[in-house]
Amino acid sequence: MSGNNRGTAVLKTGYAFNRAFPLLTRKKVETSFELRNFKKSDETALAAVINETWGLKSSPKNAELALRFGYAYLYYNLAYSSFRVVAEYNGFASGIVCAGRRNEKLPNLGYLAKAISYALPLFFCREFRSQIAAWKKFFKVTAANEANMAKEYKGRLYLLLTNPSCRGIGMGKKMLSSAEEYFILNGMDRFYLHTDTECNFRFYDSVGYKKVFGSVVGSGPNPWEIYLYANK
Ligand SMILES: CC(C)(COP(=O)(O)OP(=O)(O)OC[C@H]1O[C@@H](n2cnc3c(N)ncnc32)[C@H](O)[C@@H]1OP(=O)(O)O)[C@@H](O)C(=O)NCCC(=O)NCCS
């Protein structure tokens, strides 16, 4: 990693109370985070953030199984990425960005094996069947979008995620900038990503990325939509 890896922001929800006027005065607290490479000890914190963001709202019966989703999803994305950067806040991994070369033929086999070992029991669990059917749809649409994507797009952003309690303080943008830097330094000035209506896809609109493909999956008043965005 290169460049400035620190981010500082005023945490809008945090307050320090003045001793003399504890109930009357409140002061905004300055907070900071640091970007660094992923390490194994980050896995539990990051899997929890993944579960909180996209995981099953499971019953206690399958709670342990449900936790596996976060680990499997994390290691799957790590396996296909060569750029794996974490945002550390208050000593905890609170965000992650994963990026790599499009159509990387050889994933990291250690990470892939972990993803498979975490995911395998999920395929035999009844509660996950509808989730698995949804993932199949997602992979079908994204594979088709990817096949139609122009060859100049050489890079792919695999994962961008921040802890819900750290959103809105500049962490996501800072991690995205570090991935942009990685793409440029490695000759991939055009790159893309897959997202959908279960994600905060409007973040990419806000940073000026463009929607290249959009597919409606399902029906009803708020159907699920899957998108491919590109940086330019
Ligand atoms: C997307 C995500 C990583 C953004 O991280 P973040 O740390 O909250 O973002 P930042 O604080 O760095 O950036 C916030 C900026 O984006 C803008 N933004 C974020 N979400 C937005 C939205 N839904 N609509 C419009 N603007 C949005 C903010 O207005 C802010 O702009 P500003 O810097 O001009 O004030 C975070 O929301 C997240 O993890 N979401 C769940 C996972 C996800 O959806 N990942 C991406 C799609 S796969």
* Mean pLDDT, range 113-132, rounded to an integer: 90
Q: What is the pLDDT of residue 126?
A: 83
Report, in angstroms and rounded to the nearest whole number, the Rg of the chain calculated over CA atoms: 19
Q: What residue type is 212 in one-letter code?
A: V
Please say whether the beta carbons of 11 and 172 come within 8 A.
no
Identity of the highest mean pLDDT range in 10-19, 63-72, 99-108, 174-183 = 174-183
**Nearest residue CA, atom 10 of ligand 1?**
170
Q: How far is the CA of 117 from the centre of ligand 1 (A)?
A: 32
pTM beyond 0.85: yes
What would the mean pLDDT of 34-63 be, rounded to a whole number? 89
- Quick one: average pLDDT of 39-62? 87
CA of 205 relative to ligand 1 center, distance in Å: 10
Provide the 3-class DSSP secondary structure of residue 8: strand
Q: Select from 82, 92, 98 the least CA-distant residue to 49.
A: 92
Q: What is the pLDDT of residues 24-46, one digit of tens each?
A: 554 555 679 999 999 999 999 99
Is the distance from CB of 98 to CB of 78 less than 8 angstroms?
yes
Ligand 1 centre to CA of 16 (Å) is 26
Pocket of ligand 1 (CB under 6 A): 53, 160-162, 167-173, 195, 199-203, 206
From 165, 200, 205, 207, the mutation candidate for ligand 1 (largest count of ligand atoms within 8 A of CB) is: 200
Looking at ligand 1, which atom is closest to the CA of residue 49?
Answer: 39
Residue 53: how many CB atoms within 10 A of its CB? 16
pLDDT bracket for residue 63 (50, 70, 90): confident
The minimum-distance atom of ligand 1 relative to the CA of 206 is 26
User: How distant is the alpha carbon of residue 93 from its chain centre?
Assistant: 13
CB contact at 8 A, 82 and 100? yes
Q: What is the percent of the chain with per-residue pLDDT over 70, rounded to a whole number?
A: 86
Average pLDDT, the chain: 88
Looking from the CA of 163 toward its CB, the CA atoms found within 13 Å total 18
- Looking at per-residue pLDDT, the higher value among 207 and 221 belongs to 207
Q: Which atom of ligand 1 is nearest to the CA of 163?
A: 39
- 21 pLDDT higher than 70: no
Q: How far apart are CA 138 and CA 132, in angstroms?
A: 10
- Say how many Å lie between the CA of residue 85 and the centre of ligand 1: 17
Mean pLDDT (whole number) for 132-150:
93
Give pLDDT, residue 9.
58
pLDDT band with cut points at 50, 70 and 90 for residue 60? low
Q: Whose CA is nearest to atom 8 of ligand 1?
A: 167
The rounded distance, in Å, linking the Cα atoms of 169 and 64 is 32
- Domains in the chain with CATH codes: 3-230 (3.40.630.30)
> How remote is the CA of residue 19 from the centroid of ligand 1, in Å?
35
- What is residue 17's predicted lDDT score, i.e. its pLDDT? 40
